Amino acid sequence: MSTDRIKNLKTELLSDNWYTLNKLTFDYLQSNGEWRSVTRECYDRGDGAVILLYNKVKQTVVLTKQLRIPTYVNGNKEGFLIEACAGMLDNDKPEDCIKKEVEEETGYRITNVEKVMEAYSSPGSVTEILHYFIGEYSDQMKVNEGGGAANETEDIEVLELAFNTAVNSIKTGEIKDIKTICLLQYAQINNIMQ
């Protein structure tokens, strides 16, 4: 993680209540050849994994719905978002993490996942990189009701939607979560339902 355009990086801890918020001050060599002192806040919550569960036979996807308080304070009247199943790596390998999250959140026990990409969602202020997966599910894989981990104060509603309905929900604004939009569009572009 070295570049000759950044020097004198200083980190000041602002908060470590839930995750870590740091104030970063550094000198940056601009494209015009001048050095400039820059200050930014950087939120470090670790890396995560996300998956689109899909069923070709039923032409459905499994998504979740849960409260996301930052969306509420930013104008989302109910504060709930429809999302693909996701979670923080917490020192797990991405594949192991997402399988565990799928069972906790949706109640499906899947064994095969396919990694399709890695991406930053908000690189201007958040360090997190997400590992994106897809995975087929069937009714036989349902081992519990899901809903999330009680010790994580999760209260997750499991949704099984027609794939076309989910894709259309991007256009109608019912789905506004970027990781979910990316995976639904990936599925559409790559014809995974065929």
Helix (H) or strand (E) holding 113: none
Is 154 annotated to bind a ligand? Reply is yes
Q: Angle formed by the axes of helices 163-172 and 178-189, to 10°?
A: 130
Q: How far apart are CA 148 and CA 64, in angstroms?
A: 10
Is 105 annotated to bind a ligand? Reply is yes
The burial class, CB within 10 Å (0-12 / 13-18 / 19+), for 68 is: middle
What are the start-end ranges of the E strands in the chain?
A: 6-15, 20-29, 35-44, 48-55, 60-67, 80-83, 85-88, 114-120, 129-136, 157-162
Is 34 annotated to bind a ligand? Reply is no
* Residues in contact with 141: Cβ distance below 8 Å, sequence separation at least 6, in sequence order: 108, 109, 110
Is 83 annotated to bind a ligand? Reply is no
Q: Which residues are annotated as a binding site for Mg(2+)?
A: 86, 101, 105, 154
Q: Which residues are annotated as a binding site?
A: 86, 101, 105, 154
